Amino acid sequence: MSDKYVSWGRYPFKNQKGVDLLWRDDQLPVNTNFLPQGNARSYGDCCMNADGMVVSTHNLKHFISFDPETGVLRCEAGVLLKDILDVVEPQGWFVPVTPGTKFVSVGGAVANDVHGKNHHVAGTFGCHVRSFELLRSDGARMVCSPSENPEMFSATIGGLGLTGVIVWVEIQLKKIANSAIDLETIKYSNLNEFFSLSAESDANYEYTVAWIDCLARGEQLGRGHFMRGNHASGNRKKPSRRSLPLTVPIDPPVSLVNAFSLKLMNALYYNRQRTRSKQTIVHYDPFFYPLDGVKNWNRVYGPKGFLQYQFVVPAENSADAIRETLDRISAANCGSFLAVLKVFGDKPSPGMLSFPRPGATLALDFPFQGEKTHALFNQLDEIVVQANGAIYPAKDAHMKPAHFRQYYPNAERFKEFKDPNITSSFWQRVMEPSA
């Protein structure tokens, strides 16, 4: 048993049995259930298999082909988005969709059908996947694409690793003139203003997202910084990458994120910008990956770990649901520093179980405080269920079985495509709970 294979939130697991695949033609384990794992950057238990083992693709790190004319890249599933950027960005290409960390594997990006700040323009990562090879536990290999094994293609995108091991992936990259981002940051005063900014920005800005001060109340509820940007034009000089790598070297004995530090950090962060609007050209790293600058930042939550709560609610219910969420968090005397709000577009997600759908999505981090945290999440669940929303499995360690079936009506059909020898702690919790 080792903590090498433990998820990013470090809750509810402290260790996990695992083996590493070394080559594309390796055999899978027999006589045991297992789960494919990428770089374990999921927060909860969708990349964990407490009662069995995980099969890590960590070492499947080879590029197979790249055409600098067309931007079509084929690589092994364990290649990280960081590795791709290092190779293709100097040649004028970029990843088509990226989550808030570049330390995710391509296989993990497919299996959670991840989204980024350009969802309103580009949809999910799965929208840019041309094909992949799937290895089933019986040793069968199949190439899946929109035209070859299309149902397995759709089940595997957002399929939480449960249909087989993705061995390699072919994606269409995005052509760019400049990897730097021409960024405007607007300090806004409340939730209504957020929605106006978002609506007015979608047509002209490829990337939009807001950080919100989730401790602000009353008239200021939902206030924050709205960031909107595009890749800079080719003639602009690229700013240099942030130079000082920071690290959290040890586990503090308790969470450093508490009521006092949250109040301080939120107020300081909100007020760090004096003017309403600020225009800058920034390196893509701090824009897309602000947290990657601090190695092991998940340790600040201490030995009990932390949870994220990310939901999406349809547009007609967004403002009320988000207002109520922030009120309940405040009433529970909890708070989050990493509170991110974004409006998804309406480009359909290709996966049977993909999370992104039209509406507003809010993501919040909480230190795990035992029953208090679950009690708060139960209250937030009521809001999401009432608002006809959904919770994101990649961030989850709490969702109830009935809620999963409501959020993901294809769950029953998905079982047809699930590999019989693959399972996860998440799947057992939401689809096979013991009585």
Ligand X SMILES: Cc1cc2nc3c(=O)[nH]c(=O)nc-3n(C[C@H](O)[C@H](O)[C@H](O)COP(=O)(O)OP(=O)(O)OC[C@H]3O[C@@H](n4cnc5c(N)ncnc54)[C@H](O)[C@@H]3O)c2cc1C
Show contacts with ligand X in window 72-101 (CB under 6 A). Answer: 77, 99-101
112 sits near ligand X (criterion: CB under 6 A): yes
Please identify which residue in 12, 36, 158, 335 interacts with ligand X, judged by CB under 6 A. 36
394 sits near ligand X (criterion: CB under 6 A): yes
108 sits near ligand X (criterion: CB under 6 A): yes
Comparing CB distances to ligand X, the nearer of 256 and 375 is 256
Provide CB contacts within 8 A for 57, sequence distance 6+: 21, 36, 37, 38, 76, 77, 78, 105, 107, 165, 166
Short-list 405, 406, 285, 310, CA closest to 365: 310
Least CB distance from residue 167 to ligand X, whole Å?
7
Provide CB contacts within 8 A for 274, sequence distance 6+: none
Please identify which residue in 41, 102, 120, 128 interacts with ligand X, judged by CB under 6 A. 41
8 sits near ligand X (criterion: CB under 6 A): yes
Least CB distance from residue 131 to ligand X, whole Å?
14
Distance CA 407, CA 430 (A): 11
DSSP-derived secondary structure for 4-31: GG--TT--S-S-BEEEE--STTPPPP-S
349 sits near ligand X (criterion: CB under 6 A): no
Show contacts with ligand X in window 145-164 (CB under 6 A). Answer: 160-161
Show contacts with ligand X in window 278-297 (CB under 6 A). Answer: 291
Longest dimension (CA), the chain: 63
Please identify which residue in 16, 105, 255, 423 interacts with ligand X, judged by CB under 6 A. 105
Please identify which residue in 10, 115, 174, 228 interacts with ligand X, judged by CB under 6 A. 115
Name the amino acid, one letter, at 44: G
Q: Are 30 and 6 in contact (CB under 8 A)?
A: no
Comparing CB distances to ligand X, the nearer of 116 and 305 is 116
Total of chain residues touching ligand X, rule CB under 6 A: 33
DSSP 123: -
Distance CA 156, CA 354 (A): 10
Interface residue list for ligand X (CB under 6 A): 8, 35-42, 46-47, 57, 77, 99-101, 104-105, 107-109, 111-112, 114-116, 160-161, 165-166, 291, 394, 424
